[in-house]
Structure 1
Amino acid sequence: MRATVERSHLLKSLNHVHRVVERRNTIPILANVLLRADGSLTLKATDLDLEVTETVPAEIAQPGATTVPAHILYDIVRKLPDGSEVSLDTGDGAQLEVKAGRSRFVLQVLPEADFPELTAGDFPTRFTLAASALKTLIDRTQFAISTEETRYYLNGIYLHIVNVDGTPMLRAVATDGHRLAQAQLGAPDGIDGMAGVIVPRKTVGELQKLVEEPDAEVILEVSDTKIRATLDGVVLTSKLIDGTFPDYVRVIPQDNEKILKVDNDSFRHAVDRVSTVSSERGRAIKLALSDGRVELSVNNPDSGSANEEVAADYATDPLEIGFNSKYLLEVSDQIQSETAEFRFADPGSPTLIQDDDDANALYVLMPMRV
């Protein structure tokens, strides 16, 4: 294999594919990226659950393929000067020579034949989404994905179709048992009949990094076991989580009648300031609601106490309730309008949080004792 490729093209592609490769691998070939030169240069990386392929323009002097350590190649290309032309040459096939200007590197290779393929199979559901719409679904829900491996079915975003007042919607939901995030948009053409699927946390993170251009479009294909996303020459294929997502609708409160409306920016900054003295373990913060205001307070025997008052629209019975301050901040970060709306029932029941201007997103927080 002998190919020449512009450094910026190679770096952008390696940036996409090398992230899939785990830093520690018991299987040597999984630490490598596959390079295939045939008309253009194709790069592929996999961890056996997730595979990313990207094609970049290149001058191919001799077609061929090999695999080299992904993170080393990425670091080499990243450190080369802007505007470099990078030459890739396998010579007799035992090593890969990487040259740019006066720089020369020789890397150990493993044969292409050892590189595993993630068998895609058929994808009965195929639809197109604006990259900005997919990014919004991910941004609004990703923070609530569980990291607890024992409940593996919560380790991703649940994508499914729902009917809202007769209108089909594509809905994304994530929860870790302490908080829940839900976002939705009008169902795109071609999505009819799609079964609900759980997209793994790592795949969600890679998708989020790929949808950088808001004007681009993403082709999504879904089967019972896999999802594939195609965007600007990048193809991401991933296994889905084989599990049943819980009936999340049951935990979304319907009759919370104590309504607090507060300037989201002021509230977020107040939570951030007051939580400075909260304990790392619990991060507990108390909200005391009374007529026209909400008082935030933290009392930590190890470091001290703090309190701050924020003006609010609240005209119901006084209420004291505690939350994890980190969870409050993460929800506040997703509120796009000036006003956040909180709906409470009592100190021991879930609280519903909504964006005053966006009916397509909602958040649920479980309270904690303070």
Structure 2
Amino acid sequence: MKFSAERATLLKALAHIQSVAEKRNTIPILANVLIHAADGQLSLKATDMEIEVVEVIPATIKREGATTAPAAVLYEIVRKLPDNVLVELDQADGDTPLQLRADRYATRLNVLSVDDFPSMGAGELPCRFKLNAGVLRSLIDRTRFAISTEETRYYLNGIFFHAADADGVPLLRAVATDGHRLARVETDLPEGAAEMPGVIIPRKTVAELRKLIDEAPEEIEVALSETRVQFTAGSIMLTSKLIDGTFPEYDRVIPRNNNRILRVGKKDFSDAVARVAAISQERSRPVKLTLEPGLLTLSASSPEQGVAKEELDDNRISYDAESLEIGFQARYLNDITDQVEKEVEFAFSDSAAPTIVRDVDSPSALYVLMPMRV
């Protein structure tokens, strides 16, 4: 095998590939990238047996063939090469080292057998549709903060995508929850997605997909079954296993009769939360919201540091319901308000019940936050 490729083109592809390759080296071949040169183009593949990424880039093929090389090492070498150089990789046969040359730089990389490189396989993917890249970005960005990191509840370690119906309108919903907060974002159901199974896309897959979206064409092709999902964005194809579990019936935790409504500017609120929370270094310490008609008081305390308090009056808030005291973890409040553009709406019931949070300017998103005892 022998080929040459532009450094910038090769680097961009290796950046996508190497983040998927397994770095713990429990199975050495999983740390490698499979390089296949044929038909005037270069294919790069990496997998950790949960996710597989394949990218095809233009190259000048001088001798067709295939090999594997350490993904992270190859990426670092190419990253540190000068701009605008032509990178040439040459391997005489499958057992010899891979030679890399760029301008006056040269190195050799040990390889592993192509025959040992695993193929994850997607199988049949009967449900196929296209999704706007910007829409998919929004679905991910506004829900992934709520993905659980507790491995014991593995079925919460991803985003649940499914077809839904709201008052006769077909929708595609993305939902994530860790038991303390829930994020639900919806968009119009794409053509072809009506029969899609409900699928839980794992946290790592979500992270890798999100990296690709910014460089993706306008539309991303989605294909899925009950066990696999595949995203095709231009010359990149990402295939992933799905979480084999049942996502909770999240609708049951969304309260229906929260009628104490607070509206406040996102920046005013999040800045005030940050200031009062600064009194304590404990991540789990709550911020207390004391609500009276026309007045919101935020406060936090620390046995070591003291008490902090800030008031937002009726020039900056809207609240005319009964008085209420309720507490939330500061980080959870900020995670949700970070998703809001301008004005945030809180719908309360009482100090012990879940609170609904909405972006006033974006009704497609709904968040639920569990209170803390204060």
Q: TM-score, normalised by structure 1?
A: 0.98
Spell out, residue by residue over 1:326-361, the C-alpha distance to the aligned partner (whole angstroms, 9 max, x if none).
11101011012x210000011111000001011110
Deviations 1:160-202 (A, max 9, x none): 0111111100000000000000001000101121110000000
Q: Is 2:373 aligned against 1:369?
A: yes
Deviation at 1:115, TM superposition (A): 0.3
- Secondary structure, counterpart of 2:16 in structure 1: helix
Letter in 2 for 1:206: E
Residue 238 of structure 1 aligns with which residue?
A: 240
The alpha-carbon distance between structure 1 residues 120 and 319, as it changes in their structure 2 partners (threshold 3 A), is same
Contact 2:157 2:203 in 1 (8 A): yes
Q: Tell me, in whole angstroms, the C-alpha distance in 1 between the residues paired with 2:196 and 2:249.
A: 18
The alpha-carbon deviation at position 92 of structure 1 amounts to 3.8
- Partner residue, 1:10: 10
Give the drift of 1:80: 0.9
Is the contact made by 2:279 and 2:307 (CA closer than 8 Å) also made in structure 1? Answer: yes
CA contact (8 A) 1:132 1:215 kept: no
Q: Contact 1:53/1:236 (CA < 8 Å) preserved in 2?
A: yes
Match of 1:287 in 2: 289
* Counterpart-to-counterpart distance in 2, 1:317 and 1:118: 58
* Secondary structure of the corresponding residue to residue 142 of structure 2: helix
- For residues 350-361 of structure 1, what are the structure 2 equivalents within 5 Å? 350-361=354-365
Aligned match of 1:327: 332
What are the equivalent positions in structure 2 for 1:91-170 lying under 5 Å apart?
91-93=92-94, 94-170=96-172
C-alpha distance in 2 between matches for 1:258 and 1:52 = 48
How many Å separate the matches in 2 of 1:68 and 1:24?
Answer: 16
Alpha-carbon distance in 2 for matches of 1:68, 1:134: 33
Mapped partners of 1:100, 1:288: distance in 2 = 65
CA 1:106–1:303 in 2, change beyond 3 Å: closer, same or farther? Answer: farther
Residue of structure 2 in register with 1:66 after alignment: 67
Instruction: Note if contact 1:321-1:347 (Cα within 8 Å) is conserved in structure 2.
Output: yes
Shift of 1:213: 4.0
Q: How does 1:229-268 map to 2 (within 5 A)?
A: 229-268=231-270
Name 1:171's counterpart in structure 2: 173
Q: Deviations over 1:256-308 (max 9, x none)?
A: 01100001111111111221122424131111111212111110112332111
Residue of structure 1 equivalent to 2:51: 50
Q: Is the 8 A contact 1:21 1:46 kept in 2?
A: yes
- Supply the distance in 1 between the matched residues of 2:102 and 2:275 (Cα, whole angstroms): 50
In structure 2, relative to structure 1, the CA distance for the partners of 1:14 and 1:314 (3 Å cut) is same
- Structure 2: distance between partners of 1:182 and 1:124: 26
Provide the secondary structure at the position in 2 that maps to 1:265: helix
Identity between Structure 1 and Structure 2 (%): 53
1:35 maps onto 2:35 in alignment: yes
Q: RMSD of the alignment, in Å?
A: 1.1
| Corresponding residue for residue 86 of structure 2 | 85
Partners of 2:305 and 2:108 in 1: how far apart? 55
Checking the alignment, whether the CA contact within 8 Å between 2:22 and 2:47 is kept in structure 1 is no
**Superposed counterparts of 1:210-221, under 5 Å:** 210-213=212-215, 216-221=218-223
Q: 1:79 to 1:283 in 2, by over 3 A?
A: farther
Runs of 4+ deviating beyond 6 Å: none
The range that moved more, 9-18 or 19-28, is 19-28
Q: Indicate how the Cα distance of structure 1 residues 192 and 232 shifts in structure 2: closer, same or farther if over 3 A, else same.
A: same
Q: Distance in 1 between matches of 2:290 and 2:240?
A: 45
Q: CA deviation at 1:98?
A: 1.2
- What CA distance in whole angstroms lies between the structure 2 residues aligned with 1:127 and 1:283? 44
**Structure 1's 348 and 279: CA in aligned 2 closer, same or farther, altered over 3 A?**
farther
Amino acid at match of 2:44: L
Q: How many residues align?
A: 369
Are positions 1:273 and 2:275 aligned together? yes
The DSSP-based 3-state class of the residue aligned with 1:29 is helix
CA distance in 2, matches of 1:17, 1:92: 24
The residue type paired with residue 319 of structure 2 is Y
2:216, 2:234 within 8 Å by CA — same for their partners in 1? no
Q: CA deviation at 1:49?
A: 0.6
Paired position in structure 1 for 2:20: 20
